[in-house]
Amino acid sequence: MKIGLIGLGRIGKLYAEILLKNFDEIEVCAFSPRLQKRFYDLTHISRFKFFSSWNSFIGDHSIIGYIIAAPSTTHYEYIKKLIKFGKPIFCEKPLDLSLKRIDKIHELTKDSGFPITIGFNRRFDPDIRQLKKEIQTGTIGTPHIVKITSRDPAPPSIEFLRSSGGLFLDMVIHDFDMARFLLDEEPISIYSEAEVLIDQEIGKIGDFDTAISTLKFPKGTMVVIDNSRRSVYGYDQRIEVFGSKGMITTKNQRDHSVIKYDHKGSHMTPLKDFFIERYYQSYVNEMTEFLKICQGDKGQIVTVNDARQATKIALAAMKSIKNQRQNLIQ
Amino acid sequence: MKIGLIGLGRIGKLYAEILLKNFDEIEVCAFSPRLQKRFYDLTHISRFKFFSSWNSFIGDHSIIGYIIAAPSTTHYEYIKKLIKFGKPIFCEKPLDLSLKRIDKIHELTKDSGFPITIGFNRRFDPDIRQLKKEIQTGTIGTPHIVKITSRDPAPPSIEFLRSSGGLFLDMVIHDFDMARFLLDEEPISIYSEAEVLIDQEIGKIGDFDTAISTLKFPKGTMVVIDNSRRSVYGYDQRIEVFGSKGMITTKNQRDHSVIKYDHKGSHMTPLKDFFIERYYQSYVNEMTEFLKICQGDKGQIVTVNDARQATKIALAAMKSIKNQRQNLIQ
Amino acid sequence: MKIGLIGLGRIGKLYAEILLKNFDEIEVCAFSPRLQKRFYDLTHISRFKFFSSWNSFIGDHSIIGYIIAAPSTTHYEYIKKLIKFGKPIFCEKPLDLSLKRIDKIHELTKDSGFPITIGFNRRFDPDIRQLKKEIQTGTIGTPHIVKITSRDPAPPSIEFLRSSGGLFLDMVIHDFDMARFLLDEEPISIYSEAEVLIDQEIGKIGDFDTAISTLKFPKGTMVVIDNSRRSVYGYDQRIEVFGSKGMITTKNQRDHSVIKYDHKGSHMTPLKDFFIERYYQSYVNEMTEFLKICQGDKGQIVTVNDARQATKIALAAMKSIKNQRQNLIQ
Amino acid sequence: MKIGLIGLGRIGKLYAEILLKNFDEIEVCAFSPRLQKRFYDLTHISRFKFFSSWNSFIGDHSIIGYIIAAPSTTHYEYIKKLIKFGKPIFCEKPLDLSLKRIDKIHELTKDSGFPITIGFNRRFDPDIRQLKKEIQTGTIGTPHIVKITSRDPAPPSIEFLRSSGGLFLDMVIHDFDMARFLLDEEPISIYSEAEVLIDQEIGKIGDFDTAISTLKFPKGTMVVIDNSRRSVYGYDQRIEVFGSKGMITTKNQRDHSVIKYDHKGSHMTPLKDFFIERYYQSYVNEMTEFLKICQGDKGQIVTVNDARQATKIALAAMKSIKNQRQNLIQ
């Protein structure tokens, strides 16, 4: 079985690696022989095929699904091209930075009858799946307060940030999606505050590096998200859901569990500090689900509408900062 | 040495107990023989004296300081009466529910030249003292995000709530004070959201039971506070301070450390579920500091201005809810 | 109510402090005016009376019980003197270093009809009480393996060690008592190994500083105890009970719960490092029980036989080391 | 590159899976077409080849190393057959149950000049590697006490146990190896106690299900190991190393980190309860090292002598139980 891969940057390579390492029956195909040598260090390179032309790549009948990992500005065009072939598409987040174009994609895909799924990978994390399961089985009763902490180990380059859409569309969007996913509802309003506390260069391009957002959901559940672009102690990813019958929380992960005790106290190793390392299993699970879909089975899907809603929330957050007031999400 | 105690309800009794148990040299005095029998169960009752008249009580030269633990509506009058005697006063929180009257007290006391200290007892908690010490010594660099979780085990009676001033003036005010105390600064703005999720009766008297507030401080530090009137797993009191060089956190307390492991998992006993039990040491430390002041030494003081600022923040929070927007604190 | 205190060293002073601070109705009496000034710094000194002669002290009718905290070589004589007065006696551990003299005390006291209780204070610790309660209610089913870790922060002086009876009679005896207390049975055999790894001076006086002992109980339960005279990270006191239905454990204690996270990892403050600080509540509870007994009520007692059994185990341990084999305890 | 696999039971299949999944360039070969269909469910079956005869299998020049995962009674014969081909051999533990035959293998292989490595997989676990690294870099100074807890979730079948060599040769041998590995020394003596507390059937075949062993090492370090065949709360694998400068510990692993808080307390999911799940990464690392060796590089080796020493310790432990005394290990 072949999967077509579009986009051969860091994320494209990650998907290739995960498919080749974890799914023996899968061949990964791309169409850019020029980039072929960049992939030589993949351990399973023998199952990575390069087509010499876009047309042969896109027309190959044995390809059962496509992964779009190219720059987000190109997603719309690729989806438009691929959709007529009627094959499942996995599109990396952000689907697009423009809500208008996301709406177009939504329009384009909503009646297509075949699945398109978006790369909000955290939904596939074992801890978060367990969290959702607990919420759904009523372990904590009605959720009252959800707290999401999401802090990167270090800010990306200014170059990356410039075209990223900014803190909310690039980073917090994951947490907005998390809130919707966990509560299975749409938020009705948001209030955000943001600051430049880490690097003044980030401020100069009109972006922020630190933020707190509060969302309100229809039944009164409040979600508060705190974000930072630089957590010196590692990648800090925690969720806490407080409800009428109790609370559930997730913890951060470390490379090993060794604790040292000395005259100064007791010491643990820092948190995992790279998103791929922290969420590796999520990526594997995500691909497992996508391959199910490619084979005609039911798999866990993240819809275009999910991407659209998360984008709407991010845009509302940015407007809220400007207006210093709560913003309705419509 | 004698301490005069005004107000003989639950909190008055607590102060009596703490003084009698922990400070052998202290006699506690009150002026209401009528209430004397309510105190018979105090273990150190032999050092609890009752004056037969208010005048003899207030005029006794051997009393070195007064504690006001009477209803908050009476604080102003008691302070006014006591201030001319030039003795240290400890006044339980809230100093008053009316900012106008707090201003009057401020006016009244600011030039009095003797100390008046307010019962924001958490400032005296060993964990919180350690937290402040770490912040001051720069352990975490510049604070960027402070998260305060403060959830009561169960809501007070509707009767109590009716005269309490509401969630923000009664409960969140502690957390507002905490934010000011830890950061040693005044916040410039606040945004709050609040809901009635636990008991509709609370809503009927115009109050809330669940809230999230975000404060902004001059250097950009953001503080987020989440509150609930009912945490079924016990009294949840946590603080997390995240900064440019790291993070520091406090943990909740339990009655014992026994962990049980069985086929269902591992289990710990619930959190301590009563504020007096959780903050007992804070009350002892608070009285230790007040007794220092009474003896003319330097002790840790919580000023009338501290109470005034916390009240201002609470009022701004309530206005923010009404306006659904950020409110400046002036 | 008066308690007579015999022995005014560190432990005598501790009992005085605990009684005076926690039991307002108690006066502590001693008979050595010469030592009076050593106690001036006790906060509740006003309730500490000194008799001018032994006879008046021992004959005072208002004294309801005696605490013997004098050197262990004197315990036998004091008990002999006190026993005819028919008042409850609390005797600090070790009851005596000689099994022969302990037997004599046993003989002397077994028909006396009034309670004598020995200072194995750990039995009164809240965590250990909870542990025993869980074992008794069958939480973990039948106990299979008990692990006791008991490591002092630092060795006592060589002078102290010289007359201490050695590692097993001075230190491990607490853990032997713990094993008997938790399992409510007598062990049938012991095997111990011991080494001098910390300080060669300890070896020169024929003592050890590090040991591991394995006890076997009638139903097959095995108890393993590991001891060290120097744990640089603080006073390490842990118990783990593993059984047919699960496991229960206790944890060490710290002065505060603050955790610091930085680029090197996460860090907690060292363990409490002084036995009085760690077991303060045990001492309070122990005195609470003794005072009950003094007032004719039922209180938790540690019997002379408990001391005798623990001593027998310690002696069997020492013999086991010499013989390098399992030793029966008879 | 081809790896020859001998033995196609549970462990053989595990090695096949690990090689196929994690090392894309590896083909696994076996010689028993009869068993071929048992392997159909391996995800990477396409790289699993079956030879039709033993001779063609053993003589294939493209096979770079052999894994022996057949029953332990056959190990000696297979090694004898394979050794003349001069290729690296990986032999699953136990190398053999008979010390005499292990000695023969030692004799046979010691001058062969090519590596043979034994499957003590825990040496390759990330936590244990980190532990060893810390010991070697002197983090805890000189080791004084090592505590190893090793408790299986459930006993194997009586059939398995009958030919297993018993608790010490089958299970505790891992922990004996661990002690030698961590301390990089040979123990000089052992004392063990063992009981039948879980299943009387185990006793009927002359085996035990619960044990405690104490080893002494040349510099005085003591190692205590506690074992049980049934831990209802999951697979309990912990190590603690206490030394002159501090302590280091490892923790158990769980499937996810979610904690639930309710009115009964706080709850975590049980420990991982299967050795393959718990030590999966060790197996991967072990194969990584073996493949290095097969390719002529330096890899982490567990020698025949390591297996011999661990066996000697196990035999000495069994003798110690019989004699109820410390046994020298020679």
CA distance linking residue C247 with residue C244, whole number of Å: 8
Closest-approach residue (CA) in chain A for C269:
A265
Name the closest residue on chain A to residue D265, using Cα atoms. A246
Query: With an 8 Å Cβ cutoff, are D220 and C236 in contact?
Result: no
**Beta strand pairing call for C143-151 and C222-228:** parallel
pLDDT in the model for residue A195 = 98
Average pLDDT score over residue span D80-95: 94
Beta bridge partners of D260: A248, D267
Window from A46-50, D177-181, D195-199 with minimum mean pLDDT: A46-50
pLDDT beyond 90 at A112: no
* Cβ(D253)–Cβ(D272) below 8 Å: yes
* Ordered alpha helix ranges (H), B111-246: 126-136, 158-162, 167, 173-183, 200-204
Instruction: Please determine, for residue D76, whether its predicted confidence score (pLDDT) is greater than 80.
Output: yes
Tell me: the pLDDT tens digits for B208-249?
999 999 999 999 999 999 999 999 999 999 999 999 999 999
Question: Percent of chain C scored above 90 by pLDDT?
Answer: 85
C240, β-bridge pairs = C147, C249
pLDDT value at D52 more than 90: no
- Average the pLDDT over each of B296-300, D24-28, D115-119, D312-316 and give the range with the smallest value: D24-28
Q: What does the domain layout of chain A look like in residue ranges?
A: 2-122+283-303, 125-275+309-328
Question: What is the mean predicted confidence (pLDDT) over C295-316?
Answer: 96
Question: C288: how many CB neighbours lie within 10 A of its CB?
Answer: 15
Digit-coded pLDDT (tens) for B66-95: 999 999 999 999 999 999 899 999 999 999
Fold of D2-122+283-303: Rossmann fold (3.40.50)
| Chain A nearest-CA residue for B225 | A224
Name every chain A residue with its beta carbon within 8 A of the beta carbon of D250.
256-258
CATH architecture for segment(s) B125-275+309-328: 2-Layer Sandwich (3.30)
Q: Is A327 on the interface with B (CB under 8 A)?
A: no
Q: Give the model's pLDDT for residue A28.
A: 94
Separation of alpha carbons B114 and B95, rounded Å: 17
Enumerate the residues of chain B whose CB falls inside 8 A of the CB of residue C140. 260, 262
CA distance B264 to D297: 46
How far is D241 from chain A, CA to nearest CA, in Å? 10
The confidence score (pLDDT) of residue C327 equals 96
| Contact residues on chain A for C259, CB-CB shorter than 8 A | none
pLDDT at B111: 83
Tell me what pLDDT residue C175 has.
98
Q: How many angstroms away from the CA of D17 is the closest CA of chain A?
A: 11
**What pLDDT band is residue A52 in, cutting at 50, 70 and 90?**
confident
Report the pLDDT averaged over residues D238-263.
97
Read off the pLDDT of each residue in D152-161 and give the average, rounded to a whole number.
96
For chain A, give the mean pLDDT: 94
Q: Looking at residue C278, what is its pLDDT?
A: 94
pLDDT of residue D46: 79
Q: Which of B236, A128, A147, C259 is nearest to D258 (CA)?
A: A128
Question: Which of C44, C127, C255 has its CB closest to that of B257?
Answer: C127
pLDDT for residue A35 = 73
Residues of chain B positioned with their CB less than 8 A from the CB of D263:
232-233, 270
Q: What is the pLDDT of residue B243?
A: 98
Tens-digit pLDDT profile for residues C205-248: 999 999 999 999 999 999 999 999 999 999 999 999 999 999 99
pLDDT at D113: 80
> What percent of chain A clears pLDDT 70, i.e. is strictly above it?
100
Report d(CA C293, CA C282) in Å as an integer: 17
Entry field: residues in chain A: 330
Those of residues 136-195 in C touching chain A at CB distance below 8 A are: none
Predicted confidence (pLDDT) per residue in C82-108, tens digit? 998 999 999 999 999 999 999 999 999
Residue A41 pLDDT greater than 90, yes or no:
no
* Tokens found for residue A65: 């699904």
Percent of chain C's residues with pLDDT above 70: 100
Q: Is A238 on the interface with B (CB under 8 A)?
A: no
User: D169: part of which helix (H) or strand (E)?
Assistant: none
Report how many Cβ contacts below 8 Å link chain A to chain B: 109
pLDDT above 90 for D110: no
What percent of chain D stands above pLDDT 70?
Answer: 100
Percent of chain B residues past pLDDT 90, beyond the cut: 85
CB contact under 8 A, C260 and B134: yes
pLDDT at B40 over 80: no
The chains found to touch A (3+ Cβ pairs under 8 angstroms) are B, C, D
pLDDT the model gives residue A302: 97
CB contact under 8 A, B144 and A210: yes
Half-sphere exposure for C201 (CA within 13 Å, toward CB): 9
Is residue B46 scored above 90 in pLDDT? no
Residue D41 tokens read as: 């469910």
State which amino acid sits at residue B42: L
pLDDT at C325 over 80: yes
Q: Is the pLDDT of residue D15 over 80?
A: yes
D69 CB contacts (<8 Å, ≥6 apart)? D5, D6, D7, D8, D9, D11, D12, D15, D92
Contact C26, C294 (CB under 8 A): no
Kindly report the three-state secondary structure assignment for every residue of chain C.
CEEEEECCCHHHHHHHHHHHHHCCCCEEEECCHHHHHHHCCCCCHHHEEECCCHHHHHHCCCEEEEEECCCHHHHHHHHHHHHCCCCCEEECCCCCCCHHHHHHHHHHHHCCCCCEEECCHHHHCHHHHHHHHHHHCCCCCCEEEEEEEEECCCCCCHHHHHCCCHHHHHHHHHHHHHHHHHHCCCCCEEEEEEECCCCHHHHHCCCCCEEEEEEECCCCCEEEEEEECCCCCCCEEEEEEEECCEEEECCCCECCCCEEEECCEEEECCECCCHHHHCHHHHHHHHHHHHHHHCCCCCCCCCHHHHHHHHHHHHHHHHHHHHCECEECC
Q: Give the three-class secondary structure for B105.
A: helix
Return the pLDDT at A23. 87
* pLDDT at residue B62 tops 80: yes
Give the best residue of A140, A189, A197, A321 to mutate against chain B (max B CB count within 10 A).
Answer: A197
Confidence of residue D301 (pLDDT cuts 50, 70, 90): very high
Distance CA B177, CA B192 (A): 16
User: If you average pLDDT over residues C123-128, what whole number do you get?
Assistant: 97
Flag whether pLDDT at A310 surpasses 80.
Answer: yes
For D194-206, write each residue's pLDDT tens digit. 999 999 999 999 9
Interchain proximity B248–C261, CB inside 8 Å: yes
Q: DSSP 3-state assignment of D104?
A: helix
Q: How confident is the model at residue D25 (pLDDT cuts 50, 70, 90)?
A: confident
User: B269 at the D interface (CB within 8 A)?
Assistant: yes
Instruction: For D263, list phi and psi in degrees, rounded to 5.
Output: -70, -15
- What is residue B116's three-state secondary structure? strand
Identical fold between D2-122+283-303 and D125-275+309-328 = no
Q: Tell me if B258 and C21 make a contact (CB, 8 A cut-off).
A: no
pLDDT at D322: 96
Radius of gyration of chain B (CA): 20
Q: Which of A144-153, B183-192, C11-20 has the lowest mean pLDDT?
A: C11-20
Q: Which is nearest to D227 in space by CA: C222, C317, C178?
A: C222
pLDDT for position D31 = 87
State which H helix or E strand residue D263 sits in. Answer: none
CA–CA gap between residue A213 and residue A192 (Å, rounded): 4
Enter the tokens of residue B228: 């609930």
With CA atoms as reference, the chain B residue closest to A324 would be: B326
The C-alpha atoms of residue D165 and residue B180 are separated, in whole angstroms, by 68
Give B153's contacts in chain A (Cβ within 8 Å): none
Please determine, for residue D45, whether its predicted confidence score (pLDDT) is greater than 80.
no
Residue C311 has pLDDT above 80, yes or no: yes
pLDDT tier for residue A203 given thresholds of 50, 70 and 90 = very high
CB within 8 Å: D151 and C242: yes
Find the mean pLDDT for residues B139-168: 96
DSSP structure class, residue B163: T
Alpha-carbon distance of D176 to D308, in angstroms, equals: 11
Neighboring chain A residues of C269 at a CB cutoff of 8 Å: 265
Neighbouring subunits of C (3+ Cβ pairs under 8 A): A, B, D
State the average pLDDT over residues A171-178.
98
* Interval C250-258 mean pLDDT: 95
Side chain identity at B113, as an amino acid letter?
A: G
Count other C-beta atoms under 10 Å from residue B196's C-beta.
Answer: 18
Average confidence score pLDDT of chain B: 94
Q: Which of D24, D250, D269 is facing A46, going by the closest CB pair? A: D24
- Chain B residue with CA closest to A154: the answer is B244
Give the per-residue pLDDT at A34: 75
Spatial distance between the Cα atoms of C197 and C151, rounded to a whole number of angstroms: 13
User: Which residues from chain A sit within 8 angstroms of residue D21, using beta carbons?
Assistant: 21-22, 24
The alpha-carbon radius of gyration of chain C (Å, integer) is 20
Mean pLDDT of A145-150: 98
Of the given ranges (A134-143, A281-290, B295-304, D40-49), which has the lowest mean pLDDT? D40-49
Q: Indicate if the pLDDT at residue B266 is higher than 90.
A: yes
